[in-house]
Structure 1
Amino acid sequence: MSAPAHADHPHPISDAREPRDLDGSDPGPVELHARNVTFDWSDTPLHWIPDHPVPSNFISVLNLLLPEGERWFVQTYNEALPLVADDELAATMRGFIGQEAMHAEAHDHVLWEFLDHHGIDPRPYLRQMEWIFRKVLGPMHGGSPKARQKHLIERLWLIAALEHYTAILGDFALNNAWVESGADPGMTDLFTWHGAEEVEHRAVAHEVAIYFGDGYLRRGRAMLVALPVLLLLLNRGFRFIMKQDTSLSYNYFQRQYHYFRGVHAGVLPKMRKIILATFSYFRPGFHPNEIGSTAQAVAYLAASPAARNAG
């Protein structure tokens, strides 16, 4: 597969990169690197946010969804990396790959040491995730080099669209009320550490997609695919966990009540904010640095118990 037509320029997109923090708190260049974190789930309750069982289960859905999704990110970037002639971008991609691989590993442990331990069998849902990310969204092996390159570019833009939401959720993880609500420290640190790294590298997928094939149509088309698929998988995962959680017997209206109660308490993100952020993605001048604060993310990563232990 040939490199992108503009990849022979030394730094084709460096001049287009915006300041890391548009709120004025730019911490300067940040070198991305994986943090070899570990967690102990032996004492973590299934409903890890006290008095909020539905929000606890809703957020736990991410543990089902993320491992295969993050591995797909890594596989796709490893496919694209040899085609990148921009040394700065290639180094950033390697840092991104390392972080995403660590995210997959950390959440994979949660599946077996936390969910499976509490009677939530993740295997049926995981089989579906494997089919989606390994078969449907896997690399194209046949066809012409041009067709394979086009397929790669479409996947890179799909990753950029998904990373838009991981950045939004990462910003929420850094600014929610889990600690004030008495949430389990280990699970809080897992999601906040992960969220901080998502904010830290929030512009990478966007810049990589632009490097390989800039185009407003590609960007919009990827989002129109990513959003409904993501909503479908989250809803399916939530129903999957709630069905197996024998400690709860809520009907649909009770689940909705507890969901909105969690939003009001600040332990779940506001859908209005996510919808508005979705519209912002379609603005021609959009840049991922509009979401979150690198300075805040770096500050948390310096204080995170798991990240400090890894260091």
Structure 2
Amino acid sequence: MPRATEPTPVHDSLVLEPRDVRFDWSRLPLHWIPDEPMATHTINVLHLLLPEGERWFVRVFKEALPMITDEQLREEVLGFIGQEAIHAEAHQEVLEHLLAQGLDPQPYIRQVSWFFRRVLGDKPGLTATQRRENIIERVAVVAAVEHFTAFLGNWALNSPGLDRAQADPTMLDLLRWHGAEEVEHRSVAYDLMVHLDPGYLRRVRGMAVSGPLLVHLWVRGVRFLLAADPTLHGRVKPTWREAQQIGRRGLLPEFGRMTRSAVRYFKPGYHPTQEGSSSQALSYLATSPAARAAAAH
């Protein structure tokens, strides 16, 4: 089965490898973007969603492995699985730090965990044909979500507003290391989906499910974190207007740009290598303090 043409030589020669990074959160302030609780907690939603979400990605891709007939793609999927597993653990450590600072993330995380395991999890009692179809459908959802994570990764790599706001350097390294790896492996889920089902309708369904779902979960997460923050006492309420203002200052991705990125996913000739730069991602990974420490170790 043919795979989409890869127009970027540096991407074509990539070998995905997990980087066993470590971060020291002992000095991380609760509001790691100074005086910006809403911006901080809007990004902090990543730490609530990603551990459960990326563990779900890993489970889905492990189920899909026996269905892969392209050896190169199989190696890429294995590299993707390794990277996503480490991403989940890195963000899990931030959750433990939040708890130590008096913000208990567990009520929201339990809801997210239930959703990924019960709603998007494996369905018992399916025939072999139905199970294959279910796996491919979930791969399509992963492919659409990975489009958004690549967009966010590209934004993190090109977000000088966070530096101007003097965001915590360790958190910036986590976001940019993770973002660089999301850009690095941005085509794997899409290529797997096309390998299993090249039909355009599958791609559309994956985005139709994941786009509204991500917005819903993110908004719920921001509301939860601002309400649970022990230093705010419920005084800060999230609004779309404030999110847009913060985005214009470069502290959050602008919703309009994210929407336009989602629309590009529907173009018939779309491929994820059209989003972001593999060269830029690899350049950051070569200088990231955490990635360099992992390589040295």
| 1:247 maps onto 2:247 in alignment | no
Per the alignment, residue 3 of structure 1 pairs with: none
CA–CA distance in structure 1, aligned partners of residues 226 and 192 of structure 2: 37
Shift of residue 88, structure 1, vs aligned partner: 0.4
Q: 1:224 aligns with which of 201, 208, 212?
A: 208
Shift of residue 251, structure 1, vs aligned partner: 4.9
Per the alignment, residue 4 of structure 1 pairs with: none
Unaligned stretches of 5+ residues in structure 1 = 1-11
Tell me if structure 2 keeps the 8 A contact 1:93–1:204: yes
CA–CA distance in structure 1, aligned partners of residues 122 and 196 of structure 2: 16
Tell me if structure 2 keeps the 8 A contact 1:52–1:262: no
Per the alignment, residue 175 of structure 2 pairs with: 191
Shift of residue 123, structure 1, vs aligned partner: 1.1
Q: Secondary structure at the match of 1:310?
A: helix
TM normalised by structure 1 equals 0.90
Per the alignment, residue 263 of structure 1 pairs with: 247
Tell me if structure 1 keeps the 8 A contact 2:99–2:105: yes
CA–CA distance in structure 2, aligned partners of residues 257 and 225 of structure 1: 26
CA–CA distance in structure 2, aligned partners of residues 245 and 126 of structure 1: 15
CA–CA distance in structure 2, aligned partners of residues 235 and 27 of structure 1: 34
CA–CA distance in structure 2, aligned partners of residues 27 and 209 of structure 1: 18
Shift of residue 190, structure 1, vs aligned partner: 0.5
| 1:125 maps onto 2:108 in alignment | yes
Given the superposition, is the C-alpha separation of residues 27 and 152 from structure 1 closer, same or farther in structure 2, using an over 3 Å criterion?
closer
CA–CA distance in structure 2, aligned partners of residues 258 and 172 of structure 1: 19
Shift of residue 50, structure 1, vs aligned partner: 1.7
Instruction: Kindly report which structure 2 residues correspond to 1:7-46, keeping only aligned pairs within 5 A, or say none.
Output: 12-14=1-3, 16-20=4-8, 26=10, 29-46=13-30
Shift of residue 214, structure 1, vs aligned partner: 1.4
Tell me if structure 1 keeps the 8 A contact 2:142–2:189: yes
Tell me if structure 2 keeps the 8 A contact 1:54–1:255: no
Tell me if structure 1 keeps the 8 A contact 2:244–2:255: no
Percent identity, aligned pairs only?
A: 47
Per the alignment, residue 275 of structure 2 pairs with: 291
Given the superposition, is the C-alpha separation of residues 97 and 87 from structure 1 closer, same or farther in structure 2, using an over 3 Å criterion?
same
What one-letter code is carried by the residue in structure 2 that aligns with 1:184?
D
Given the superposition, is the C-alpha separation of residues 280 and 257 from structure 1 closer, same or farther in structure 2, using an over 3 Å criterion?
closer
Instruction: Kindly report which structure 2 residues correspond to 1:129-148, keeping only aligned pairs within 5 A, or say none.
Output: 129-148=112-131
Tell me if structure 2 keeps the 8 A contact 1:200–1:294: yes
CA–CA distance in structure 2, aligned partners of residues 238 and 126 of structure 1: 13
Instruction: Kindly report which structure 2 residues correspond to 1:6-155, keeping only aligned pairs within 5 A, or say none.
Output: 12-14=1-3, 16-20=4-8, 26=10, 29-112=13-96, 114-155=97-138
Q: 1:161 aligns with which of 144, 147, 160?
A: 144
Per the alignment, residue 6 of structure 1 pairs with: none
Given the superposition, is the C-alpha separation of residues 156 and 116 from structure 1 closer, same or farther in structure 2, using an over 3 Å criterion?
same
Tell me if structure 2 keeps the 8 A contact 1:52–1:258: no
Tell me if structure 1 keeps the 8 A contact 2:247–2:254: yes
Tell me if structure 2 keeps the 8 A contact 1:46–1:115: yes
What one-letter code is carried by the residue in structure 2 that aligns with 1:18?
E
Q: Which runs of 4+ in 1 moved over 4 A?
A: 254-258
- Alignment: residue pair count: 293
Tell me if structure 1 keeps the 8 A contact 2:68–2:74: yes
**Deviations 1:223-242, CA, capped at 9 Å, x for gaps:** 11101111110011111100
Q: Please, which moves more after superposition, 148-157 or 179-188? A: 179-188
CA–CA distance in structure 2, aligned partners of residues 230 and 146 of structure 1: 29
**Deviations 1:58-114, CA, capped at 9 Å, x for gaps:** 1001100000000000011111112212110000000000000000111111111x2
Unaligned stretches of 5+ residues in structure 2 = none
CA–CA distance in structure 2, aligned partners of residues 200 and 130 of structure 1: 27
